[in-house]
């Protein structure tokens, strides 16, 4: 049953990593189904989007832009890791912060 659930949620999970629009679409598509696999990746994606916007509005604007660019590249790498994990039908936490994302966004 879990494999079926994983395959069913794979597309929703993958779309959640592509821009904020993809995340919103994934949230809407998963609203009624509550697919566990998709929800796992949506929580990871929400956390990465929050990190991205926090970096953009706080670090990049008020501090050294080199630090902001470095963090943007790091966040982009984390997005790619998450998307690859969804594509491979795995529930891998994003390194360093993934566990916190699951905890903070557990109601999704």
51-102, pLDDT tens digit by residue? Answer: 888 888 887 777 767 777 888 899 999 999 999 999 998 888 888 888 888 8
What burial class does residue 17 get, using C-beta atoms within 10 Å of its C-beta: 0-12 exposed, 13-18 middle, 19+ buried? buried
Cβ pair 47, 97 in contact under 8 A: yes
Which pLDDT tens digit goes with each residue over 13-34?
999 999 889 999 998 988 888 8
What whole-number distance in Å separates Cα of residue 51 and Cα of residue 108?
18
Which of the given ranges, 7-11, 38-42, 55-59, has the highest pLDDT on average? 38-42
């Amino acid at each position: 049953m879990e494999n079926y659930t994983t395959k069913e949620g794979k597309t929703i999970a993958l779309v959640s990593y592509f821009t904020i629009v993809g995340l919103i679409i994934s949230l809407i598509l998963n609203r009624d189904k509550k697919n566990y696999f998709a929800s796992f990746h949506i929580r990871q994606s929400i956390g990465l989007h929050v990190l991205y916007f926090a970096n953009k509005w706080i670090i990049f604007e008020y501090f050294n832009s080199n630090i902001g660019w470095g963090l943007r590249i790091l966040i982009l790498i984390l997005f790619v890791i998450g998307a690859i994990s969804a594509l491979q039908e795995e529930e891998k936490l994003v390194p360093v912060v993934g566990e916190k994302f699951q905890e903070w966004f557990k109601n999704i």
